[in-house]
Amino acid sequence: MIGHWFRLHFIENEGMAFGMKLGNADVGKLILTLFRLVAVVFGFFLLKTLVVKKYSKGVIICGSLILAGALGNLIDSMFYGMIFTESSYHMANVAQVGQGYAKFLHGRVVDMLYFPIIDTRMPHWVPFVGGSDFVFFEPVFNIADAAISVGVLTLVLFQKRLIHKKEPVNNAVPQ
């Protein structure tokens, strides 16, 4: 897309971050999707509470980013497998609308953003990894993952500035 450091790279992620999976494929996928569902429902209640308690706009925006990303990944894992055919290397990694490859709650999450900022070979003198290929920032992710990451990182980095309630204005004159 933009030089050699940004590419669109279609991947169907069967698990969670970095493709990690929970045990048995079918049971693990079901547990992961149900966990996502519970997290999204909890996220809506938590975000409503933050709004009602008048937390700062920054906290509400970060919470909204996290919730929107979680909802996007949940929708993929609930319905994607029911709608699209399974993609394969022989089909140029492109899923097509068809009968689907999985039942409800067993779909994969589509990742597509790839930023191999540095793609090189490690010098031979580097211990353990010398002579091997090295890619800086190898994970492939989607916009939902990016929203979650931006929301969480912003809260972590700016928590003292963001996490506070709006104090009621007291117009009473002190005695």
* Catalytic residue selected from 26, 119, 133, 145: 145
**In the prediction, which pLDDT does 17 show?**
73
**In the prediction, which pLDDT does 96 show?**
66
Of 140, 121, 114, the C-alpha closest to 4 is: 114
Q: Is 76 a catalytic residue?
A: no
User: What are the pLDDT digits (tens) for 61-95?
Assistant: 999 999 999 999 999 999 988 888 877 654 555 66
User: How far apart are the C-alpha atoms of 115 and 31, rounded to whole Å?
Assistant: 30
**In the prediction, which pLDDT does 89 show?**
54
User: How do the domains of the chain map onto residue ranges?
Assistant: 20-113+143-162
CB 30 within 8 A of CB 105: yes
Question: What share of the chain in percent tops pLDDT 90?
Answer: 43
Question: Per the structure block, which two tokens stand in for 102?
Answer: 């999985």
Rg (CA), the chain: 21
List the chain residues with pLDDT less than 50.
90
Q: Is 111 a catalytic residue?
A: yes
Question: Per the structure block, which two tokens stand in for 100?
Answer: 């689907």
**In the prediction, which pLDDT does 155 show?**
95
